[in-house]
Structure 1
Amino acid sequence: MKTARAAWRRLEPVHGMIYFVPEARRRYADLGLRGRAGYFASRSAAFGRASAELVISTFYNFNPDFVRQAVDGAWDAASPHQVLDARYAAVGEALRRAGIHELPNLNEVLALTRRAAEAACEHPQGRPLFAAHAALPWPDDPVLQLWHAQTLLREFRGDGHVACLLSEGVGGLEALVLHAATGEVPVGLLKSSRAWPEEEWADTEERLRERGLLDGDSLSSDGVLLRQHIEDRTDLLTLPAYGVLGDADCERLAELASPFGRAVVEAGLLKLG
């Protein structure tokens, strides 16, 4: 499981940059999608004309009122097909800006990542966001193929993570508060990006303290154990994808993926703004 997680994490910036780059904001704005409407529409477009309720259920940890406001009218401005085309165009522009297309070992990284993604496609049950993306055609461009493969693996893992949270009775806002308590991500970023009212955030903190999962603003020992359990279970649920590679090829992918993730970071593709 550790080698699979390393392979996913080191390549994840190649997928994750699409939520930050100006190329995406510009492409969505050209379609009439501004602010967070572009994010919600582009990630849910694989469903078709996704309702706000579908986005709320599958994205899991956003304030529902925020989602409804952002999604309202999105499909009147642009069709899902137009949004998907804009997303892929932005991906190609941004990743080329980072020089991904010029990196050695692109073909091998793509081959390994695609093998894992195609193995995941044999297990869509219970993974709605993944399944919607898995039904999309593979792009012809190798750079876009790599992004699509990593997107499938990200959504495959994400759907499994939501299943683990649900099984442990951890709701969307509770998951955010527990994440904030680790100190890994600034609490202000989590609050602003997910748009939960301060009062609801504070009430959730208090409930988690009553459950013994928070000690002040930090995780309690039970909270640490719960989060680790959820992460371990999430890793286990990715094995239908990465198991086809085996430990040796997962280690190889993790090794080769590092320059790709680093190129994205060094090009500033993950910066807010």
Structure 2
Amino acid sequence: MKAARAAWRRLEPVHAMIYFAPEGTRRYADLGLSRRAGYFASRSAAFGRASAELVISTFYNFNPAFVRQAVVGAWDATTPQQVLDARYAAAGEALRRAGIHELPALDEVLALARRAAEAACEHPQGRPLFAAHAALPWPEEPVLQLWHAQTLLREFRGDGHVACLLSEGVGGLEALVLDAARGEVPVDFLKASRAWPEEEWAGTKERLRKRGLLEGDCLSSEGVLLRRHIEDRTDRLALAAYAALGDADCERLAELADPFGRAVVEAGLLKLG
């Protein structure tokens, strides 16, 4: 399980950069979409003309009013296929800018990541966002194949994570506040990107304190245990993909993926804001 998590985590920047790279913002703007609408439309376009309610249910931790405001009119301005095309074009452009296509281990990393992603495709049940992306055709270009593979692995893990949060009675805003209490992601970024009103954020913090999960602004010992429990369960639910590799190939993927993640970071593709 530890090797599988390392394999996912080290390659994750290859997928995650699409939410921050300016290439995406420009491509979506060309379709008449604001940055906010571009994010929701591009990630949900695999569903087709996704409603705000579908996005709210699958994205989980965004303020529903914010989602409705961003999604309304998106599919009047463009089509899901146009958005998907723009997303892939932006991903390829950004990753090439980072030099991913020139890394010597590309073929081996792609082969390993694709094996895991294809294994995940045998287990779509209960994972709606993953299943929608799994139905998309594989791109032809190796760099985009790698991005697609990691996208599948990310959404596979993400759907499992949402299931864990639900089973533990942790709502979307509660999950954000608990995440903020770890201190690894700036609180201001989480508040701005998920658009929860300050009073709701403060009220949720107070409820979590009463549940014994927070002490002040930090996780309590009970909160630390709950977070660890949720992350461990999420890891276990993601094993269906990485079991196809086995520990040795998971370790190999983690080792080879490190320069890919670093290239994305060094190219500035993960700048928050």
Same fold (TM over 0.5): yes
1:131: how far off?
0.2
| 1:100-131 C-alpha deviation (Å, 9 max, x unpaired) | 00001100000000000000000000000000
| 1:143-165 C-alpha deviation (Å, 9 max, x unpaired) | 00000000000000000000000
Query: Which residue of 1 is the match for residue 100 of structure 2?
Result: 100
Q: AA paired with 1:169? A: G
Q: What is the aligned residue count?
A: 273
> How many Å separate the matches in 2 of 1:43 and 1:228?
27
> How many Å separate the matches in 1 of 2:184 and 2:91?
27
> How many Å separate the matches in 2 of 1:233 and 1:35?
33
Where does structure 1 lack aligned partners over 5 or more consecutive residues?
A: none
Where does structure 2 lack aligned partners over 5 or more consecutive residues?
A: none
> How many Å separate the matches in 1 of 2:232 and 2:10?
18
Query: Which residue of 2 is the match for residue 246 of structure 1?
Result: 246
Query: Which residue of 1 is the match for residue 68 of structure 2?
Result: 68
| 1:27-53 C-alpha deviation (Å, 9 max, x unpaired) | 000000012000000000000000000
| 1:212-242 C-alpha deviation (Å, 9 max, x unpaired) | 0000110000000000000000000011000
Q: AA paired with 2:29? A: A
Query: Which residue of 2 is the match for residue 124 of structure 1?
Result: 124
> How many Å separate the matches in 2 of 1:211 and 1:22?
41
Q: AA paired with 1:37? A: A
Tell me, what secondary structure is at the counterpart of 1:159? helix
1:144 is the counterpart of 2:150: no
Query: Which residue of 1 is the match for residue 271 of structure 2?
Result: 271
Tell me, what secondary structure is at the counterpart of 1:238? helix
Q: List aligned pairs for 1:140-179, cutoff 5 A.
A: 140-179=140-179
Percent identity, please: 87
Q: AA paired with 1:54? A: L
> How many Å separate the matches in 1 of 2:153 and 2:14?
12
Q: AA paired with 2:191? A: K
Q: CA RMSD in A?
A: 0.5
> How many Å separate the matches in 2 of 1:258 and 1:213?
34
1:271: how far off?
1.1
Tell me, what secondary structure is at the counterpart of 2:262? helix
TM-score computed with the length of structure 1 as normaliser? 0.99
Query: Which residue of 2 is the match for residue 221 of structure 1?
Result: 221
Query: Which residue of 2 is the match for residue 189 of structure 1?
Result: 189
Q: AA paired with 1:141? A: E
TM-score computed with the length of structure 2 as normaliser? 0.99
> How many Å separate the matches in 2 of 1:187 and 1:98?
28
> How many Å separate the matches in 1 of 2:185 and 2:90?
26
Q: AA paired with 1:253? A: L
Query: Which residue of 1 is the match for residue 259 of structure 2?
Result: 259
